[in-house]
Amino acid sequence: MPLDQYVLVQIGDGEVDLKPECEHRMRQVAEETDAAMVYSSYLERLPDGRLEPHPVIRYQWGSVRDDFDFGKVVLINVADALAATEDFTEADSELLDGGWYYFRLRLSMSNYFVEIPEMLYIATRTDHRSSGEKQFDYVNKASREYQRQMEEAFLDYLYEVDGLLPRERKLINLDEGDFLNEASVIIPVRNRVKTIATAIESALMQDTDFPFNVIVVDNGSTDGTSEVLAGYDDPRVNVISLTGEEGHGIGGCWNRAVLSPLCGRFAVQLDSDDAYSSPSALSTIVKLFRRAKVGMVVGSYTLTDFNFNRIPPGVIRHEEWTPENGADNALRINGFGAPRAYFTPLLREILFPDVSYGEDYAVCLRISRDYYVGRIYESIYNCRRWDDNTDAALPLEKINEHNLYKDFVRSIELSARIPRQRNPFDELEER
């Protein structure tokens, strides 16, 4: 409904009940901050009638993913909206999402959005899937046309803000550095006594014509994992033992392995509860490095249960990746795929953020900015989903924490791509 200078818009499906003060509060914040759009947290009505808080997060420069959660109701400045849609065509409004993603990217180019951390309305929950189910929406073949449209909208946005990467990238110098091993399988671990042996065995079974080793970084395990590691007498298995009091996340564990003189020329990911699905996985990765001289290689994986039985959606190939647009489109989506492998001299320059979520995404964005990324579209990795898996069914607070961090990482990446005299992180404070 129109509110003079502003319009209140419902986005998404479901019944919405505005609290009496909702319109007043949104307009008040919009006027006092000169925001082009404001949005707020809300209460969700569950099937049993209970109300559950649904907090939203702050919009950053890097909040460019198409699934950013604005809630169900937003207040938009009409003048800013008209300016952002001057060159809209009929085709833009006929996009599968009604043109919402294209519109809000255009609106954000010269304006900013304000999040109100108050529960201003009640909305009926319409999507009851777990986070583990939702996270693969963007690789679902049924939504491929939708994703293609979102990619085109995002690439158009990057073009407008001068954020597209150059088509030509650097090639790595394969002769850089001296290494005892051609490759190292890196396994950070903490309290994975049920799965660590299977992971290590899948690495040791690799059939290669080059020397490789396995570096396990034990981050203060207390459940018997350390004892399992102590039982290996294979010289290819190297354990870096931490007390857990160093405060390292997964990224810090990776850094300890990569900076070790034991690390090979190529550092290859293996999570402590996953396994390579083929004895040729490591050779396939290294051959691609050697042939294409890329900065990193990303494979494909199969989702399985604890016993390695395939579960939906099955093989995750990231077929949305293209050599032309993949590194740009990676800013829109939440991941690169697995397993990931890196050219060690390059990784030693960059290093991982010392966190336990998004550390890989940050490094992959940084490498893909300057170097080519090699892709393997056959599944060479089994990614387990089981009771102790941290991604299976996250609470909303944890999802928000993860999204906030990845949006921060994207903000850093955009800042590096599009240098400005003005710091985008200070936009709200400046006003």
8 Å CB contact between 319 and 325: no
* Per-residue pLDDT of the chain in tens (431 residues, 90 and over written 9): 445 899 999 998 889 999 999 999 999 999 999 999 999 999 999 999 999 999 999 999 999 999 999 999 999 999 999 999 988 877 777 888 889 999 999 999 989 999 999 999 999 988 765 545 555 565 666 688 899 999 999 999 999 999 999 989 999 999 899 999 999 999 999 999 999 999 999 999 999 999 999 999 999 999 999 999 999 999 999 999 999 899 999 999 999 999 999 999 999 999 999 999 999 999 999 999 999 999 999 999 999 999 999 999 899 988 878 888 999 999 999 889 999 999 999 999 999 999 999 999 999 999 999 999 999 999 999 999 877 665 557 899 999 999 999 999 999 999 999 876 455 555 544 44
Amino acid 151: pLDDT: 94
Whole-angstrom distance, CA of residue 297 vs CA of residue 268: 9
The pair of structure tokens assigned to 400 is 């928000």
- Using CA atoms, how far residue 209 sits from 83, 182, 215, 234, 319, in Å, is 61, 10, 19, 18, 30
| Residue with tokens 């080793």, as numbered in its chain | 213
Amino acid 421: pLDDT: 47
8 Å CB contact between 371 and 169: yes
* Strand, coil or helix: 41: strand
Backbone angles phi, psi at 401, to 5 degrees: -60, -45
Single-letter residue type at 93: S
Amino acid 428: pLDDT: 47
Amino acid 322: pLDDT: 86
8 Å CB contact between 322 and 155: no
Dump strand ranges (E) for 49-201: 51-54, 73-77, 113-124, 183-189
Single-letter residue type at 355: V
Amino acid 423: pLDDT: 56
pTM given for the model: 0.91
Amino acid 137: pLDDT: 60
Amino acid 135: pLDDT: 54
Amino acid 389: pLDDT: 61
Pairing verdict, β 183-189 and 113-124: unpaired
